[in-house]
Amino acid sequence: MNRFTQLDLKTRIFGSINYSIIFFVAIIVFFIVAVSRFSGNRAANQKEILTEALNRDIVHCYSVEGMYPPSLEYIEEHYGLSYDRERFIIDYESIGSNLMPNVTVIERAVE
């Protein structure tokens, strides 16, 4: 083919449509991957924030009252801790009033 021959209309239209479709699909795939990574990071951040808030409330209770909180319900009632019970499980094991409790935050499987 040389510069004086012209492609027929059908070839020009389908050639340009193919590149447009490929570009559009690539943008959609990029967007889906970016959103899924962002939501994954957000869930990890929520768990980290909950763990930090829980530890902060435990230490605050010890500094104010001179004892560690006896239960998780005590922290919720007196220090205003709230969390999503549908998403997280908190295992709170009080060892004694003068020993820091063992706290584990577990994220439930999202269905």
Q: What is the pLDDT of residue 3?
A: 61
Q: Is 83 within a domain? A: yes
Q: Is 20 within a domain? A: yes
Q: What is the pLDDT of residue 73?
A: 95
Instruction: Locate 53 and state its tokens.
Output: 């808030």
> pLDDT tens, 17-33?
667 777 788 888 888 88
Q: Is 1 within a domain? A: no
> pLDDT tens, 54-78?
999 999 999 999 999 999 999 999 9
Q: Is 52 within a domain? A: yes
Quote the number of domains for the chain. Answer: 1
Distance of alpha carbon 9 from alpha carbon 60, whole angstroms: 76
**Residue 19: how many other CB atoms lie within 10 Å:** 9
Distance of alpha carbon 49 from alpha carbon 45, whole angstroms: 6
Distance of alpha carbon 1 from alpha carbon 12, whole angstroms: 14
What integer is the mean pLDDT of 74-102?
A: 92
pLDDT at 99 over 70: yes
Q: Is 3 within a domain? A: no
Q: Is 4 within a domain? A: no
Q: Is 56 within a domain? A: yes
Side-chain-side CA neighbours of 90 within 13 Å: the count stands at 23
Q: Is 57 within a domain? A: yes
